[in-house]
Amino acid sequence: MSFLYLEHCVVHREDGALTARNDQGTIRVPAASLVAVLLGPGTSVSHQAMSLLGECGTTAVWVGERGVRYYAHGRSLATSTHLLIEQAARVSSPQKRLKVARQMYCWRFAGEDVEGLTMQQLRGREGARVREVYRENSRRTGVPWIRRDYRPDDFEASDPINQALSAAHAALYGVVHAVIVSLGCSPGLGFVHTGHERSFVYDVADLYKADITIPVAFDVVAEGMEDLTGTTRRRVRDRIFELKVIERAVRDIHAMLEVEESEDLAINVVSLWDYQRKAVEGGSNYAVLDAEEAGAW
């Protein structure tokens, strides 16, 4: 699955290829081979290019530098709704939702057995673990740590480490958001978080904070960088690239929804919902069958 990031160029089409042009020249990429195109700063996209992406089922996502901000997206790469249906089914069932939440906590707790734990117990264990992650990075870097304290309406009111953490987390949210919408999932249907349009984004991003955003934020503050937020975003960007977070997020989302990665989400088949059989073939006339069933009564 190919995610192509572009910035500071003009995006157009040439036959079946997507072209990106700047002062250094032009590159051509077969549009059918792309899952998603992440359009970064300085990109201009032609109507013909967007038409080609639509024909190929390629997702266009408008992002910040290296994907560290999510702004908007076009259609999903998936014409099949299998992932979305599985997500909705698991969110709607308390038992299935708890199972997914346990799985995510298990990944975050490095394989620790969480079977049988309630959500309250999981939250308590998570809180203790996250506090230890902060303390560990504080000891490692020498940056004083008191508590997580941020004010969305007054960014400058926080201390440097909390500002760096907010900037780092926002960068990670952008990349995860782009992956989620590219796969056709709903960013609002979370398993641990709920009630917010980015609940699932926060769920998935939490899987990577201990490895990426928290260490980066403490490192940047320890180095005394003047451009605190800008340096933090760039460091997170590079770390996301090094650890292949896009690929990891794709795998993790498939795993938590128990959908095989090899499944073709581009299968364009319209079915009709049926209570007993889940789905029946679309494009068929069921009038005779319905009449016979009615006569049986």
Positive or negative: CA dihedral 246, 42, 187, 231:
positive
Is 193 marked as a binding-site residue?
yes
Is 177 marked as a binding-site residue?
no
d(CA 211, CA 214): 7
Torsion angle defined by CA atoms of residues 22, 65, 216 and 146, in that order, rounded to the nearest 10 degrees = 160
Q: CA nearest 217: which of 235, 192, 243?
A: 235
Q: In degrees, to the nearest 5, what angle opens at C-alpha 184 toward C-alphas 182 and 185? A: 110
Extract the tokens encoding 78: 């998936």
Sequence-ordered list of residues with C-beta below 8 angstroms from that of 4, at least 6 positions apart, any chain: 29, 34, 36, 37, 38
Is 126 marked as a binding-site residue?
yes
CB pairs under 8 A, 24+ apart, for 125-133?
Answer: 130/210, 133/210, 133/214
Extract the tokens encoding 245: 């977070």
Binding residues for Mn(2+): 126, 193, 206
Binding residues: 126, 193, 206
